[in-house]
Amino acid sequence: MGRPRQIFLYEHVTGGGLLGAATEDLQALQAEGGAMWGAVLRDLGRIDAVRVVTMVDGRFDVPCPSGMGMRVHRVNSVEEWEQRFDELARDADDVLLIAPETGGVLTRLTERVERLGARLLSPSSTFCAWGADKTAVATTMAQAGVPMPHGVRLAATDPWPSEFPAPAVLKPNDGCGSDRVRRLDDCSTDARYGAETVWRLEKFAPGRAASVACLCGPTGFVILPPCLQRLSDDGEFRYLGGLRLVDEASAVRLAERVCAALPPVVGYIGLDLVLGPADDGSDDVLIEVNPRVTTSYVGLAQMQQGNLAEGIIRMCDGRGFEPRWNAELVSFTASGELRSDRTEPDGLQGSVIALDIGGANLKASDGGGYSRAAYFPLWKSPERLADAVDTLFADAPPCSTWVVTMTGELADCFRTKREGVAAILDAVEVAAARCAARPRVLVYLTDGTFVSPEVARLGPLQAAASNWHALAAFVARRFRDSSGLLIDVGSTTCDLIPFADGAPTATGHTDPDRLASGELVYTGVVRSPVCALVRSLPWRGGMCGTAQELFATTLDAYLVLGRLPEDLENCNTADGRPATIEFARDRLARCICADRESFDLADARAAAVAIEAAQWDLMSDAWSRVVARGAVPEVVVVGGQGEFLAKALLNRVGFVGRVVSLSAEFGDEASRAGPAYALARLAMEGTILCSS
């Protein structure tokens, strides 16, 4: 074997670049810089063919990974820094630099390494100078058609553009991070300060702040998983940390366009983006390019199943890199502290109540004797959701934690699912704040984790339509020794979710993916319009076409057939009259433009049988598609308000295996509030990942 490859890792703050500055002024910088330095150092130290050398400011008590064959040189003066930096750079095979762009620091350090003849594993001085000049970046990207906010460069002597449209953002043209960045809601007066600073004034871009890291080399680039950025809401955009982005497709598309327009570059770079309100990514913009390792490296290194530093080396060598990522949600603070920790069941102290917020129904359960369900048409009165939660919880036992799942974000009172998730969580937090027990609120995601509302708002598509996963996860855990299928038929939808080895094995996770896979069928036993199920109904010995109007729903069919009980107080029907057989007959008659004088109870029963058969057809097709992707299930678990329909389906398809009824196991109320019941049990019994 040849000698190990010697790599000099230098991070400016922890490495002595600020010797002479007061240590009390450097605490925040040292925490962030130390996190990046430590993460890269650990990764490099795990590569057998690499020997790492690095520098540390002697004033800092910086912990260094031990036992990894690395040399750490402490420096205590500017003179010692000068000598040691040059010596280590000259003797190294490769140098990886991490430093701020502000004031040309990163560019000057890179030029120094280049003069010493060392090979860089980070961007060249030419690229660093370009990336540090925000106006130069904007010009290059505009020429390539990459969207960026409109802006102007302002030297100290340039006139202030008082007519610039507000809101706007003022930042140093060579700034690093949020240093001296401010939002301006009024551009009529000059907001510059500091005669030595060249500024950039640009249009404020609304949306979610995100970052995308890229590994670059002679063979191209590799896009790493996007992360959302938490920024302060005080107009100064202070960086508070990051979280892996779940709905990442549009961020990746924009990052690919940026990388295609970049000047030649090697190493790790970061892109700051704003993901606009349009779901198709048409409002997304690039904010700036960071020509260095960023704080997101800390979280990305945790997600990567291999070694991210080895990826940098491979890309710089031209050998390519294919990263493999964990599915686990990872969040981190501005100082690089990971906020992802698995806790045992007692991690949720005190009692728990789960809340399932749908578009038409609210459901709550403590996983024991308390389960409630209430009709609430969210699309009609989203502003009353907090009051509706108060009413639902009027007789609830006291608890310390509410855990929330939802499908109501799809209600058409919201323009996007992102808006719906945020509005629902806002209402729940209002209700929790009014509750005497002041419970904390946690949100269930489709990866099986619980997070704070703040984190859920950052990744809304993983909080959206998450209730099916809660029920499937609970059922899969209960029947962990069997391969099986959960069939949950509710008032509006039907879920067919396979499970094995104690976990759901669903193909889709978002509603569109689940509809495409057959794991979600948008038909239920109460709210599905008859006109959406059938084009004709039997009448007087023949078939009669149906009116394409909301005259009746499946509730009416199952009232007539005796599958659902009559309820004089329930007027949530197609015509607003009570849920009785008498009025159900009238509603079904209107489906063929008839009335009670020409449509008797026998006609109503014949129509109801045809409607039920139409639902069987939809569900049978979904059964065939789901089962075809795996083996015939050993056990089928049925539940929901339409459990009777699931049982009938199994008879229709000839299933002869074990059938388990959730209503028989846990009671009718718990079965009807199935996702809420399951979520409460998961929170109390299962291992939880909590991210705050």
CATH number at residue 433: 3.30.420.40
| Per-residue pLDDT at 28 exceeds 70 | no
Q: What is the CATH number of the domain that holds 53?
A: 3.40.50.11770
Q: Does residue 219 sit within a domain?
A: yes
Q: Judge whether 265 and 127 are in contact, CB under 8 Å.
A: yes
Residue 489 has, within 13 A of its CA and on its CB side, a CA count of: 25
Q: Judge whether 142 and 311 are in contact, CB under 8 Å.
A: no
Whether residues 407 and 436 fall in one domain: yes
- Residue 155 has a CB neighbour count (10 Å cut-off) of 11
Burial of 55 (0-12, 13-18, 19+ CB in 10 A): buried
State the pLDDT at residue 456: 85
- Alpha-carbon distance of 151 to 164, in angstroms, equals 9
Strands 5-11 and 50-57: parallel
> 271-303: string of b/e by CB count within 10 Å (b at 16+)?
bbbbbbeeeeeebbbbbbbbbbbbbbbbbbbbb
Whether residues 355 and 436 fall in one domain: yes
- Alpha-carbon distance of 482 to 660, in angstroms, equals 12
Q: Judge whether 272 and 211 are in contact, CB under 8 Å.
A: yes
State the pLDDT at residue 581: 96
State the pLDDT at residue 337: 65
Whether residues 272 and 181 fall in one domain: yes
Q: Does residue 237 sit within a domain?
A: yes
| Per-residue pLDDT at 341 exceeds 70 | no
Rg of the chain over all Cα atoms, to the nearest angstrom:
30
Whether residues 192 and 327 fall in one domain: yes
Q: pLDDT band at 48, cuts 50/70/90?
A: confident
Helix boundaries (H) for 92-235 = 105-115, 125-132, 134-144
Quick: pLDDT tens for 447-476: 788 888 888 887 788 888 888 898 998 899
- Alpha-carbon distance of 657 to 371, in angstroms, equals 30
Whether residues 155 and 218 fall in one domain: yes
- Alpha-carbon distance of 412 to 379, in angstroms, equals 6
| Per-residue pLDDT at 126 exceeds 60 | yes
3-state secondary structure of 510: coil
| Per-residue pLDDT at 268 exceeds 60 | yes
- Residue at which a domain ends, from 616, 644, 675: 616
Nearest 10 degrees: Cα torsion 399, 400, 405, 408:
70
Q: Does residue 116 sit within a domain?
A: yes
Our CA angle for 451, 455, 460, nearest 5°, is 100
Distances, alpha carbon 117 to alpha carbons 73, 280, 461, 569, 602, in Å: 21, 46, 49, 85, 94
3-state secondary structure of 640: coil
The closest of 63, 85, 89, 71 to 19, measured between CA atoms, is: 85
Q: Does residue 459 sit within a domain?
A: yes
**538: Cβ contacts below 8 Å, ≥ 6 apart:** 544, 603, 606, 607, 610
Q: Does residue 443 sit within a domain?
A: yes
Q: Give the sign of the dihedral formed by CA 213, CA 218, CA 219, CA 220.
A: positive
Whether residues 165 and 84 fall in one domain: no
In terms of residues, how long is the chain?
692
Task: Name the average pLDDT for the chain.
Answer: 88
| Per-residue pLDDT at 65 exceeds 90 | no
| Per-residue pLDDT at 662 exceeds 90 | no
The closest of 70, 14, 503, 102 to 290, measured between CA atoms, is: 102
Whether residues 70 and 165 fall in one domain: no
Residue 565 has, within 13 A of its CA and on its CB side, a CA count of: 4
| Per-residue pLDDT at 671 exceeds 80 | no
- Residue at which a domain ends, from 287, 311, 333: 333
Quick: pLDDT tens for 560-613: 999 999 999 999 999 999 999 999 999 999 999 999 999 999 999 999 999 999
Whether residues 325 and 363 fall in one domain: no
**Which residue has 């291992």 as its token pair?**
687
State the pLDDT at residue 668: 78
State the pLDDT at residue 111: 97
> What's the total number of domains in the chain?
4
State the pLDDT at residue 348: 46
State the pLDDT at residue 154: 95
Quick: pLDDT tens for 471-522: 998 899 888 888 899 999 999 999 999 999 888 999 888 888 899 999 999 9
**Which residue has 């399932």 as its token pair?**
356
**145: Cβ contacts below 8 Å, ≥ 6 apart:** 257
- Residue at which a domain ends, from 122, 156, 183: 122
State the pLDDT at residue 68: 54
Q: Which residue range forms the structural domain that includes residue 72?
A: 5-122
Number of H helices, E strands in the chain: 22, 32
State the pLDDT at residue 272: 95
* Percent of residues, the chain, with pLDDT higher than 90: 62
State the pLDDT at residue 336: 64
Whether residues 318 and 363 fall in one domain: no
The closest of 229, 222, 298 to 266, measured between CA atoms, is: 222
Q: Does residue 209 sit within a domain?
A: yes
Q: Give the sign of the dihedral formed by CA 403, CA 409, CA 413, CA 416.
A: positive
Q: Give the sign of the dihedral formed by CA 633, CA 636, CA 640, CA 644.
A: positive
Q: Judge whether 165 and 151 are in contact, CB under 8 Å.
A: no
- Alpha-carbon distance of 257 to 470, in angstroms, equals 37
Whether residues 425 and 303 fall in one domain: no
Residue 433 has, within 13 A of its CA and on its CB side, a CA count of: 7
State the pLDDT at residue 66: 53
Q: Which 3-state string (H, E, C) describes 643-685?
A: HHHHHHHHHHHCCCCEEEEHHHHHCHHHHHCHHHHHHHHHHHH
**Which residue has 């430093």 as its token pair?**
99
User: What tokens does 438 get?
Assistant: 């002041």
Q: pLDDT band at 187, cuts 50/70/90?
A: very high
* Percent of residues, the chain, with pLDDT higher than 70: 93
Q: Does residue 510 sit within a domain?
A: no
State the pLDDT at residue 347: 41
Q: What is the reported pTM?
A: 0.62
State the pLDDT at residue 649: 92
Whether residues 118 and 215 fall in one domain: no
- Alpha-carbon distance of 193 to 313, in angstroms, equals 41
State the pLDDT at residue 329: 60
State the pLDDT at residue 63: 64
Whether residues 145 and 274 fall in one domain: yes
Q: Does residue 661 sit within a domain?
A: no
**674: Cβ contacts below 8 Å, ≥ 6 apart:** 471, 488, 639, 640, 662
Higher pLDDT, 656 or 329: 656
Q: Is the peptide bond before 512 cis (omega within 30 degrees of 0)?
A: no
Q: pLDDT band at 350, cuts 50/70/90?
A: low
- Alpha-carbon distance of 425 to 402, in angstroms, equals 11
**Distance in angstroms between the alpha carbons of the first and the last residue of the chain:** 47
State the pLDDT at residue 281: 85
**269: Cβ contacts below 8 Å, ≥ 6 apart:** 123, 131, 213, 214, 216, 262, 289, 290, 291, 292
State the pLDDT at residue 346: 37
Q: Could you tell me the strand order of the sheet in which 168-172 lies?
A: 151-154, 199-203, 168-172, 182-184
